[in-house]
């Protein structure tokens, strides 16, 4: 208990709320000026006063997730998806904590929708990384930290970035190894914009350095589980295409409120079919054979393992196949992709330049190319 208390103090700057802090957060959310809008979305058949009273009865993070966030996710699925499937959870043990390393396409939903799938399959929910750049309003902080989300610092100089990443990885190890709580983290810093899902080796290195002793054994203790998230209609696709086109000419600088706009767009934009696949954990049998390699080489190999697992598990949609066919008209064509081609053509018309249109097609086509590459490797 002494070690746990010490660790809690060590991580107070980034950790989620403890249960004794959740009750106070619920009262603040109930009094927030945002409550009517939030209540209308999550509980469309209830009035804001009833939702406020319900919030003030909540005193734990688990209650908040089951009584509020579970219904939020169900509303997102009802309003903006035609199908939601999560496969592979039967490979996991309910009592075992895991580190879910996921490709990252939507700021909120990649992790949030997985929570519902975990609950439906009889697993506990996981803790979730939450970028400090998104913690811009007290109500957002209260919702996030009550939802088992923990802070990830962005920016700073090279030394500050290294220290914050190591601090983060130590907290993740503490959550998994000491407290038995699963954790979700994206495979890279920020969302995939170009449709190519790649794991940052530096992230894996931080996980290895967060423990003691053999670094590959240290990684195996985290029970890494690659997760592939696939959307039929890519979250914020037009916004991503415009950003990439601008970034080819000069460094892209976010505008005030841009992240919040991306969150709202991702939640409300039609997503069509949504497919999650949870792959097999990377255990000692997969990791320890790399122990003879220098650390940097070993973590690159682990990153490639995660990449291959995610790419292999990625569910290609007609939009992916249609975009690839549009970029490669000399290749195979299929009448089954015609509807998706028509939809993509309409999306292309909403963009201004040929460069933006090219980026949009690559967002959808690149997962096809990635699958072809791993088959050839």
- Say if residues 113 and 85 touch (Cβ distance below 8 Å): no
How would DSSP label each residue in 142-183?
HHHHHTTEEEE-----HHHHHHHHHHHHHHHHIIIIIT---E
Q: Clarify whether residues 218 and 362 are in a common domain.
A: no
Q: Clarify whether residues 229 and 280 are in a common domain.
A: yes
Q: Clarify whether residues 308 and 359 are in a common domain.
A: no
What CATH number is attached to the domain comprising 203? 3.40.1130
pLDDT value for 158: 83
Nearest to 273 by CA among 114, 105, 83: 83
Q: Clarify whether residues 171 and 306 are in a common domain.
A: yes
Q: Clarify whether residues 278 and 372 are in a common domain.
A: no
Q: Clarify whether residues 275 and 342 are in a common domain.
A: no
Q: Clarify whether residues 174 and 303 are in a common domain.
A: yes
Mean pLDDT, residues 167-185 taken together: 97
Q: Clarify whether residues 323 and 279 are in a common domain.
A: no
Q: Clarify whether residues 108 and 206 are in a common domain.
A: yes
123 has pLDDT over 90: yes
Mean pLDDT, residues 117-126 taken together: 97
Q: Clarify whether residues 231 and 349 are in a common domain.
A: no
Mean pLDDT, residues 318-332 taken together: 96
pLDDT value for 133: 83
pLDDT value for 255: 82
Q: Clarify whether residues 302 and 193 are in a common domain.
A: yes
Mean pLDDT, residues 2-31 taken together: 83
Chain centroid to Cα 351, Å, comes to: 27
Domain that holds residue 342: 319-376
Q: Clarify whether residues 280 and 350 are in a common domain.
A: no
- Asked whether residue 184 is assigned to any structural domain, the reply reads yes
């Amino acid at each position: 208990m002494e070690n746990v208390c010490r660790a809690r103090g060590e991580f107070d700057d980034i950790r989620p709320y403890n249960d004794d802090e959740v009750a106070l957060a619920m009262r603040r959310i109930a009094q927030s000026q945002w409550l009517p809008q939030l209540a209308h979305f999550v509980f469309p058949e209830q009035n804001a006063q009833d939702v406020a009273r319900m919030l003030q009865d909540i005193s734990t993070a688990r209650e908040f997730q089951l009584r509020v966030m579970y219904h939020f996710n169900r509303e997102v699925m009802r309003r903006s998806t035609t199908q939601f499937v999560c496969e592979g959870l039967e490979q996991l043990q309910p009592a075992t904590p895991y580190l879910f390393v996921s490709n990252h396409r939507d700021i909120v939903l990649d992790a949030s929708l997985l929570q519902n799938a975990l609950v439906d399959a009889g697993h506990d929910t996981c803790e979730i990384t939450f970028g400090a750049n998104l913690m811009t309003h007290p109500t957002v902080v209260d919702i996030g930290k009550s939802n088992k989300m923990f802070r990830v610092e962005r920016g700073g100089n090279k030394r500050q970035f290294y220290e914050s990443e190591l601090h983060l990885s130590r907290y993740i190890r503490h959550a998994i190894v000491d407290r038995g709580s699963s954790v979700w983290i994206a495979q890279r810093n920020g969302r995939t914009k170009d449709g190519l899902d790649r794991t940052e080796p530096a992230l894996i290195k931080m996980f290895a350095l967060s423990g003691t002793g053999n670094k590959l054994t240290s990684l195996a203790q985290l029970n890494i589980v690659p997760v592939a998230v696939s959307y039929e209609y890519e979250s914020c696709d037009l916004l991503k295409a415009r950003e990439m086109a601008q970034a080819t000419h000069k460094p892209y600088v976010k505008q005030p409120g841009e992240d919040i706009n991306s969150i709202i767009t991702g939640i409300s934009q039609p997503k069509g079919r949504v497919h999650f696949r949870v792959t097999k954990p990377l255990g000692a049998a997969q990791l320890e054979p790399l122990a003879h390699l220098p650390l940097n080489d070993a973590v690159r190999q682990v990153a490639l393992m995660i990449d291959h697992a995610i790419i292999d598990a990625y569910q290609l949609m007609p939009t992916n196949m249609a975009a690839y066919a549009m970029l490669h008209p000399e290749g195979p064509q299929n009448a089954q992709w015609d509807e998706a081609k028509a939809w993509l053509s309409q999306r292309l018309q909403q963009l201004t330049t040929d460069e933006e249109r090219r980026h949009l097609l690559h967002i959808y086509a690149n997962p096809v190319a990635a699958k072809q590459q791993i088959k050839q490797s």
